[in-house]
């Protein structure tokens, strides 16, 4: 997407679709005059109410009389940053549906919007651009005709050009924000593609290949441990989950170091289960295909590391991705098995469907030991219970550090990827006690999201600045919930905002 910030007269804009944003009160006050200036029939005001995300496409004309296609863009009543991003998404989505590749936005009111929303112009510009990437995203590369067996076939064209028309005083901030928005937006698209690719297109090594490609392009190191190395390192959790599979596991390390001073070392750990059948503790068949999204944590770690590298954040960021599928079969691990993890801690596998925590256990201990990070954050589609608790829009999270918890909560508010903190109280550890091993990987009926977090906590070796984010709900929109179902890229923007806070 080519993004241009211009101060030229709106009447000279030659885009195929020009958006005029309105809050509902602006529409009441200035709607008539502004629409009349473009020769638009005022009857539309009977229907268009400027609700957040509402779009009405109309035909008017320029001052010089040439025809102009206009999108009225609703921002809602009290216009929040979320409303603004939502409007961008609807606008871009409508353009793509209309096969329009060249769009423009009248940002003359962006300074005023900065005042009402309490966010700076750069943040607003970034959110709008990110919203355009989000709304224009389609996943159609596996349709016949576009099919490419490597999964990198011709993609939906999306938006080729976005023009932002601003007042002279806002140019610099808009350009800065737009540049960041395009990084975040494109990294989210990459993450969504990985999540949407099904198990027969994306196996553990394919995540590694994607990571290597990104690392080469954006200047960070990628190391991949294959099965032999994983065996000699003694990553018993990852190996146990991989036992039933025909595809080898991979342990992927992304290593981004900034040019200048390193403010902090941050480890980001992402669950990379390319397909979760449940293993011998097999899942019910209904909607099992959605478990291709069980590597969403890995995708968001890759997206966030790429974004951080492109934005040159002054942090040493290590991404750790344990990757495998979780399959049943004669060689698969069995319920009741006791395994030894990388840390030496033994685990009774009460349920083979609680596989995410087994592979994360190895990655957390390895990351803590090898990189001595100041901060450790893991992100995973870990428990169905988190969907029961918080639904499909919000992620649950835990932290043993109140400052980090606050940063993560605020990052959620700013990125629009909302999170809610749950407790790590020790009383929950009772549920994962094992008779035969150090710990059980399941904790019985109640508080499944919390007992999963208590399990992970055992593998950070006393680290005092750790957080776990459970994205089982918001990582994937099931059929019928949105315009584009499937992978959402949730986590990329959230993690990037957290990283930015760590350098503040
Ligand atoms: N990948 C699932 C969690 C999940 C469920 C993610 C639904 C997205 C949507 C995870 O591996 C799992 O199966 N968890 C079990 C844990 C249980 C066996 C303790 C669960 O949530 O049922
Ligand atoms: Mn599972
Ligand atoms: Zn899983």
pLDDT value at position 358?
99
Residue 237: closest CA among 456, 467, 465, 383? 456
Judged against a pLDDT cut of 90, whether residue 482 lies above it is answered with: no
The CB density around residue 232, as the number of other CB atoms within 10 Å, is 9
**Based on the domain organization, do 165 and 301 belong to the same domain?**
no
DSSP structure class, residue 445: S
**Based on the domain organization, do 121 and 259 belong to the same domain?**
no
**Based on the domain organization, do 140 and 261 belong to the same domain?**
no
Which of 168, 191, 214 corresponds to the end of one domain? 191
Residue 353: closest CA among 385, 377, 321? 385
Q: To which H or E segment does residue 103 belong?
A: strand 102-106
Protein residue closest via CA to atom 5 of ligand 1? 384
Judged against a pLDDT cut of 70, whether residue 22 lies above it is answered with: yes
What's the gap in Å between 198 CA and the centre of ligand 3?
Answer: 15
CATH number at residue 485: 3.40.630.10
Q: What is the pLDDT of residues 338-361, one digit of tens each?
A: 999 999 999 999 999 999 999 999
Which residues does 65 contact at the CB level (< 8 Å), separation at least 6? none
Of 275, 286, 383, 452, which is best to mutate to test ligand 1, by the most ligand atoms within 8 angstroms of its C-beta? 383
Q: Is 133 in contact with 189 (CB distance < 8 Å)?
A: yes
Q: Is 447 in contact with 423 (CB distance < 8 Å)?
A: no
Give the number of the atom of ligand 1 that is nearest the alpha carbon of residue 326.
11
Q: What is the pLDDT of residues 165-181, one digit of tens each?
A: 999 999 999 999 999 99
Place of tokens 């201990």: 365
The token pair at 246 is 């025909």
Of 382, 389, 432, 453, which is best to mutate to test ligand 1, by the most ligand atoms within 8 angstroms of its C-beta? 382
Protein residue closest via CA to atom 8 of ligand 1? 472
**Based on the domain organization, do 92 and 163 belong to the same domain?**
yes
Band (13; pLDDT cuts 50, 70, 90): confident
Place of tokens 């954006």: 218
Band (67; pLDDT cuts 50, 70, 90): confident
Q: Is 378 in contact with 456 (CB distance < 8 Å)?
A: yes
Active site residue 357: yes
Instruction: Name the residue range of residue 15's domain.
Output: 2-191
Distance of CA 83 to the CA centre of its chain: 18
Q: What is the pLDDT of residues 419-464, one digit of tens each?
A: 999 999 999 999 999 999 999 999 998 999 999 999 999 999 999 9
Mean pLDDT for 459-487 is: 92
Range in 8-17, 30-39, 426-435 with the lowest mean pLDDT: 8-17
**Based on the domain organization, do 182 and 238 belong to the same domain?**
no
Q: What is the pLDDT of residues 218-241, one digit of tens each?
A: 999 999 999 999 999 999 999 999
Residue 202: closest CA among 302, 133, 319, 334? 302
**Based on the domain organization, do 166 and 233 belong to the same domain?**
no
Band (320; pLDDT cuts 50, 70, 90): very high
**Based on the domain organization, do 348 and 482 belong to the same domain?**
yes
Which of 191, 222, 253 corresponds to the end of one domain? 191
**Based on the domain organization, do 185 and 229 belong to the same domain?**
no
Place of tokens 């993890």: 341
Of 354, 396, 443, 469, which is best to mutate to test ligand 1, by the most ligand atoms within 8 angstroms of its C-beta? 354
The CB density around residue 413, as the number of other CB atoms within 10 Å, is 14
For 4-67, the DSSP string reads: EEE-S-GGG---SEEEEEE-HHHHHHHHHHHHHHTT--GGGGGT----TT-EEEEEEE-TTS-E
**Based on the domain organization, do 496 and 458 belong to the same domain?**
yes
Helix-helix angle 121-136:110-117, to 10 degrees: 100
Instruction: Please give the share of the chain, as a percent, with pLDDT higher than 90.
Output: 91
Using a 6 Å CB cutoff, which residues line ligand 1? 276, 294, 351, 353-356, 381-385, 442, 448, 472
Q: Which residues of 135-169 are buried (b: 16+ CB within 10 A; e: fewer)?
A: bbbbbebeeeeeeeeebeeeeeebbeebbbbbeee
Distance of CA 137 to the CA centre of its chain: 13
Q: Is 378 in contact with 362 (CB distance < 8 Å)?
A: no
What's the gap in Å between 356 CA and the centre of ligand 1?
Answer: 8
**Based on the domain organization, do 128 and 258 belong to the same domain?**
no
Q: To which H or E segment does residue 340 belong?
A: strand 338-340
Q: To which H or E segment does residue 164 belong?
A: strand 161-165
Answering whether pTM is above 0.75, one says yes
Partners of residue 465 on adjacent β-strands = none
**Based on the domain organization, do 221 and 124 belong to the same domain?**
no
CATH number at residue 126: 3.40.220.10
CA distance 354 to 385: 12
Q: Report the domain count for the chain.
A: 2
Which of 191, 225, 247 corresponds to the end of one domain? 191
Judged against a pLDDT cut of 80, whether residue 492 lies above it is answered with: yes
Partners of residue 4 on adjacent β-strands = 163
pLDDT value at position 277?
98
**Based on the domain organization, do 80 and 223 belong to the same domain?**
no
Give the number of the atom of ligand 1 that is nearest the alpha carbon of residue 276.
1
What's the gap in Å between 152 CA and the centre of ligand 2?
Answer: 28
Neighbours of ion ligand 2 (CB under 5 A): 276, 353, 355
């Amino acid at each position: 997407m080519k993004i241009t910030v211009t101060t030229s007269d709106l009447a000279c804009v030659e885009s195929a679709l020009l958006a005029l944003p309105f809050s509902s009160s602006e529409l009441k006050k200035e709607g008539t005059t502004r629409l009349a200036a473009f020769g638009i029939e005022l009857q539309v005001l009977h229907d268009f109410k400027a609700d957040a995300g509402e779009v009405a496409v109309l035909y008017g004309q320029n001052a010089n009389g040439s025809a102009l296609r206009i999108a009225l863009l609703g921002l809602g009543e009290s216009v929040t940053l979320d409303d603004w991003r939502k409007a961008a998404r609807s606008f871009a989505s409508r353009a793509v549906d209309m096969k329009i590749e060249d769009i423009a936005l009248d940002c003359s009111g962006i300074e005023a919007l900065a005042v009402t929303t309490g966010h700076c112009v750069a943040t607003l510009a970034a959110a709008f651009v990110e919203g355009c990437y989000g709304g224009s995203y389609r996943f159609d590369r596996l349709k016949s005709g576009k099919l490419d067996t490597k999964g990198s076939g011709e993609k939906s064209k999306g938006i080729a050009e976005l023009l932002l028309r601003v007042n002279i005083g806002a140019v610099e901030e808009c350009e800065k924000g737009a540049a960041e928005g395009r990084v975040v937006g494109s990294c989210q698209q990459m993450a969504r593609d990985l999540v949407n690719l099904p198990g027969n297109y994306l196996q553990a090594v394919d995540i590694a290949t994607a990571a290597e490609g990104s690392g080469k392009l954006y200047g960070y190191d990628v190391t991949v441990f294959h099965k032999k190395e994983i065996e000699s390192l003694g990553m018993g959790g990852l190996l146990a989950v991989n036992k039933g599979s025909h595809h080898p596991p991979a342990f992927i390390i992304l290593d981004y170091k900034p040019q200048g001073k390193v403010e902090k070392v941050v480890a980001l750990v992402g669950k990379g289960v390319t397909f979760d059948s449940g293993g011998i503790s097999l899942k019910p068949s209904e909607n099992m295909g959605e478990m291709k999204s069980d590597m969403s944590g890995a995708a968001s770690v890759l997206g966030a590391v790429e974004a951080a590298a492109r934005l040159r954040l002054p942090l040493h960021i290590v991404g750790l991705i344990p990757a495998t599928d979780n399959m049943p079969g004669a060689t698969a691990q069995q319920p009741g098995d006791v395994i030894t993890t990388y840390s030496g801690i033994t685990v009774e596998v009460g349920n083979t469907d609680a596989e995410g925590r087994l592979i994360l256990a190895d990655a957390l201990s390895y990351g803590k030991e090898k990189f001595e990070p100041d901060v450790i954050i893991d992100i995973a589609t870990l428990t169905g219970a988190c969907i029961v608790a918080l639904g499909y829009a919000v992620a649950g999270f835990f932290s043993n550090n109140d400052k980090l918890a606050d940063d993560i909560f605020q990052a959620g508010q700013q990125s629009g990827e909302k999170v809610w903190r749950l407790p790590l109280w020790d009383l929950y550890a009772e549920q994962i006690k094992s008779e035969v091993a150090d710990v059980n990987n399941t904790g019985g009926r109640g508080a499944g999201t919390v007992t999963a977090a208590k399990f992970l906590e055992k593998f950070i070796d006393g680290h005092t600045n750790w957080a776990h984010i459970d994205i089982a709900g918001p990582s994937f929109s099931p059929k019928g919930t949105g315009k584009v179902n499937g992978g959402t890229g949730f986590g990329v923007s959230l993690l990037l905002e957290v990283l930015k806070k760590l350098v503040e």
